[in-house]
Structure 1
Amino acid sequence: MARPARRLLTLLPLLLIAIWAALDWHALYDGTARLATADPYWLLIGLFYTCLGWLSASLVRQGALPERLPTGPLIASQFAAGSANHVLPASLGAHAVTLRFLQAQGIPLTRATASLALYSLVRPIAKTLVLLGFLFTLPGLLRLGELVPDHRMLLLPVAAAVIGLGGTLLLVTLVPPLRRPATTFVRTALTDARRLHTMPSRVLALWGGAAAAPLLQASVIHAVGTSLGMTLSWAQVAFAYLAASSAVGSIPAPGGIGPVDAAMVFTLSVYGVPVALGTAALIGYRVLTVWLPLLPGALCLSTMVHRKLL
């Protein structure tokens, strides 16, 4: 049974891609057609930033663990995790792939799960700090009044956090068998977090990689937009992305596709970018960051499963 199950896991990513392509073929076709008229040099720059995004994810994963992970397989796992992340919502696919990779490296389940929790906690905190940095250093360049989310939108991530934490506490309270594993998990997570923050290399990897991630995503959008004739500065595009992804980041969608794109088109329009051009830039951005690496990422995922690295 183990061998057929492994073969099924090997083919499952390709099957999911085929289904998704059939359901979303309009976006793939339109994005490819628009990119055909774009400046290829700027598209290459956007692809370069996309590749740097996998390196930043690898840095954060390494920074969340005291043990040193093998560099090549770690980067390959994050490339493969990107494929899974665009199929399942709320980063579940990427976390599942990373969890399997960490266990294959001999990391106990409790500590591997604790590292995923630390990763998930640091990413939004680092993005918020970067956003505040933009607000304090470039207030004259940014149109704050129109881009700062309405107070009702700010309640969305707060409500999601409260519901998630409250639901977890309620579940642990009502189900006694979960108390001991939950206590062990919290103790392990706090111990590892304290240990990591005594290691300068891990602190730099964890927080530096987390801060770089949204800026690299924004850089891809800026490069694609410039290739299509958009004239906004990098700082404006970066702030627009930070504001848009912060406003709707708590909505569970595969890879953030949908809510973030719609919010990003709106924020670009605040800067005077025509909706058609903003939409084209976001389609091109998704082609570079989702569709182009999707098949190679799935093949990488299948290869790692076949070689028992996952």
Structure 2
Amino acid sequence: MTSGQAVAAPTRRRLCGQLALTVAVLTVAGCLARRHLPVLETGAVRLAVADQGWLLAAGTAAAATWMCSALAQQGAVLRPLPPRRLVAAQFAASAAGQLLPAGLGSGAVNLRFLMRCGLSAGCAATALAAKATVGGLVRAALVAVLATACPGVLGLPRPSALWPAAALAALALAVLLGTALRPRCRRALARVRADIRAIHARPHRAAALWGGSLGFVVLHALVLIAVTRAVALPLAPPLVALLYLAASSAAALLPTPAGLGSLDAALAFALTASGAPAAAAASVVLGYRLLTVWLPLVPGLLVLAVLVRRGAL
């Protein structure tokens, strides 16, 4: 077996595993949708007669997420990127991300775009890693703040009992990673840390990275909040934002394309567990997915094709 075949074999196994998981999740989601078809039909009818003003506000917030994503991506790169192509690349990446699980599509588009802008493969990968890391930290911080504002919603154990165990687990994980990493991995991590320090040495780049990441998450939560208002679901905005963050974080554990099936079920479960009627929860989930996934999908793929044709990807 050649070295290329040795590298390709684990990649194929990983892709086959992700594909099998995606098919399993979609199969379960399809069975659940068929079982609850009357509820979905009622939810669709309720969404069709929803308040158009709130739906317009939700659509505006959804469109603004691509601007925030572009801002965060520029913040993760030291050199200036072409603004229009950067926003177009984020729009195309969001469409590509709907077709492949675990963000593979959006990551591939952004990686190719950064390399076309003159970055090396290593620097482009570091920029994507920095953006993803900051996005995760922003989500965790928002969950902590909103969980404090809405106590008891997530059903978490008391902090006094949780924090020591979490600290010990994190310490053990750090020790294991430190001993298991090979010198080559340590060099790669050192390069990532150096690039991140260079980004934060420029305040405007750091502000763009953190501000864009925060805006991206907040705007997605605002989309869901606006849809709840459109269908007259009386849930407090901080509660809806917390439910979105919790559901999207849980859905990330099942890497289906665009969170299809996993995010829908998590959002519906979170809303109904908070007291929303099943039909209203279905309306909210359908509206959120319509504005963030289905309506932008075809235009995003067209933009992707144009960028490829013009050599921007």
Which TM-score bucket, shorter chain as reference?
Answer: 0.7 to 0.9
Contact 1:50 1:216 in 2 (8 A): yes
The equivalent position to 1:222 in structure 2, one of 222, 225, 228, is: 225
RMSD: 3.4
Give the match for residue 16 of structure 1.
none
Output aligned runs, 1:275-294, within 5 Å: 275-294=278-297
The equivalent position to 1:103 in structure 2, one of 103, 107, 115, is: 115
- Structure 1 runs, 4 residues or longer, greater than 4 Å off: 23-27, 29-34, 165-170
In structure 2, C-alpha distance between the alignment counterparts of 1:168 and 1:89, rounded to whole Å:
29
Give the match for residue 245 of structure 1.
248
Give the match for residue 10 of structure 1.
none
Aligned amino acid, residue 132 of structure 2: S
Query: How has the CA–CA distance of structure 1 residues 34 and 287 changed in structure 2, closer, same or farther, with 3 Å as cutoff?
Result: farther
Output aligned runs, 1:167-178, within 5 Å: 173=182
In structure 2, C-alpha distance between the alignment counterparts of 1:58 and 1:135, rounded to whole Å:
28
Give the match for residue 307 of structure 2.
304
Is 1:206–2:213 an aligned residue pair? no
Give the match for residue 270 of structure 2.
267
Aligned amino acid, residue 206 of structure 2: V
In structure 2, C-alpha distance between the alignment counterparts of 1:264 and 1:232, rounded to whole Å:
14
Q: Deviation of residue 183 (structure 1)?
A: 4.8
Query: How has the CA–CA distance of structure 1 residues 32 and 266 changed in structure 2, closer, same or farther, with 3 Å as cutoff?
Result: closer
Give the match for residue 84 of structure 1.
96
The equivalent position to 2:260 in structure 1, one of 244, 257, 260, is: 257
Output aligned runs, 1:1-310, within 5 Å: 34-136=46-148, 138=149, 142=150, 144-148=151-155, 173=182, 180=184, 182-310=185-313
Q: Deviation of residue 245 (structure 1)?
A: 2.3
* Structure 1 segments unaligned to the other structure (5+ residues): 1-22, 174-178
Contact 2:52 2:230 in 1 (8 A): yes
Deviation readout 1:165-186 (Å, 9 max, x if unpaired): 989996x75xxxxx64x45532
Deviation readout 1:47-90 (Å, 9 max, x if unpaired): 10001111111111111111111111000000000001111111
In structure 1, C-alpha distance between the alignment counterparts of 2:253 and 2:130, rounded to whole Å:
17
What SS does structure 1 have at the residue aligned with 2:106?
A: helix
* TM-score, structure 1 as length reference: 0.77
In structure 2, C-alpha distance between the alignment counterparts of 1:64 and 1:39, rounded to whole Å:
38
Q: Deviation of residue 191 (structure 1)?
A: 1.2
Contact 1:114 1:185 in 2 (8 A): no
In structure 1, C-alpha distance between the alignment counterparts of 2:44 and 2:179, rounded to whole Å:
46
Q: Deviation of residue 272 (structure 1)?
A: 1.7
In structure 1, C-alpha distance between the alignment counterparts of 2:122 and 2:44, rounded to whole Å:
43
Q: Deviation of residue 298 (structure 1)?
A: 0.1
In structure 2, C-alpha distance between the alignment counterparts of 1:150 and 1:251, rounded to whole Å:
24
Mean Cα deviation higher: 102-111 or 218-227: 218-227
Contact 1:149 1:247 in 2 (8 A): no
Aligned amino acid, residue 38 of structure 1: A
What SS does structure 2 have at the residue aligned with 1:90?
A: helix
What SS does structure 1 have at the residue aligned with 2:152?
A: helix
Contact 2:76 2:127 in 1 (8 A): yes
In structure 1, C-alpha distance between the alignment counterparts of 2:74 and 2:132, rounded to whole Å:
13
* Structure 2 segments unaligned to the other structure (5+ residues): 1-26, 35-39, 159-164
Aligned amino acid, residue 61 of structure 2: Y
Contact 1:63 1:204 in 2 (8 A): yes
May I ask how many residue pairs the two structures share in their alignment?
A: 274
Q: Deviation of residue 123 (structure 1)?
A: 1.0
